[in-house]
Amino acid sequence: MIWNADRALRWILLLGVLASGCRTPSQSVCCDVGVPLVQAEVMKETEGAEPRPFLLPAEALTETFVMRQTVTVRWSNDAGQAEEVSFDAAIQRQGGSLLLLGLGPMGGVGFTLSLAEGKVSFENRTGQVLPFDAERMLADVQRVYYPWLDGSPDCSDCVRRGRRGGFEIEEHRTQGQVSRRRFKSLAAGRDEEGVKGGKAVEAGARLGIVVEYSGDPAFGGLLRDARLRHEEFGYEVELETLRIDWID
């Protein structure tokens, strides 16, 4: 199954339903990530299937915390009109796990999504099915908050580059803080002329994922707030951090 703008739209609409905190019987799904996480540097497509996202081990982020956020997702509908949906979420990094909670208006949990011991687990209280593997949401969280380049930076204002997980990664640092990241796919067939995410793409264009940071310092040289833009799938996720509680 190939990703396109329609599937991205269905995912965004589903997030709005999950965030409503509706009470229905829970549905649990546990899926093997599919390959050893540390060794899986390039994900390979199977015929007729959508490639699974590369995930770092949960422990690759050494800081432990609970972070409360407001998440806003924006996209353009088929008529070219701007749409958006917002909901509260919590991210917990503790022990050997990474946990993402979608919260309803009264604080109820609409879904739980976790990565632990190389496996992704998803509990859905809405009775609906995600249009793609749940680990794709975790992949976006990792692209924003996890370290992707080896070694400690020895500069305050510079650009660092490397390759990992099927992406060429470019990280901009400004006054000692990460101000921007860009993930460019190394997979064949990604540099095509046509339409991706509802936007025209020139031949040879390198579609990717762009993350821009703002606000006060948080951890690991990152700032508290972030905006992730997926150029291929045509959506944008804005993360406003309301509170960070550190876990010993």
Q: Are 145 and 126 in contact (CB under 8 A)?
A: no
**pLDDT per position in the chain (248 positions), as tens?**
333 444 444 444 455 444 444 333 333 333 333 333 332 333 333 334 456 789 999 999 999 999 999 989 888 888 888 888 888 889 999 999 999 988 766 667 778 899 999 899 988 775 655 545 678 889 999 999 999 998 888 889 999 999 999 999 999 999 999 999 999 998 754 444 444 444 444 434 567 999 999 999 999 999 999 999 999 888 899 999 999 999 97
Give the model's pLDDT for residue 193.
Answer: 44
Give the model's pLDDT for residue 154.
Answer: 82
Alpha-carbon span 186 to 109, nearest angstrom: 37
Give the model's pLDDT for residue 225.
Answer: 98
Give the model's pLDDT for residue 45.
Answer: 34
Residue in the structure block whose two tokens are 């407001």: 70
Alpha-carbon span 108 to 123, nearest angstrom: 13
| pTM attached to this predicted model | 0.75
Run of H or E including 121: strand 119-124
Give the model's pLDDT for residue 17.
Answer: 47
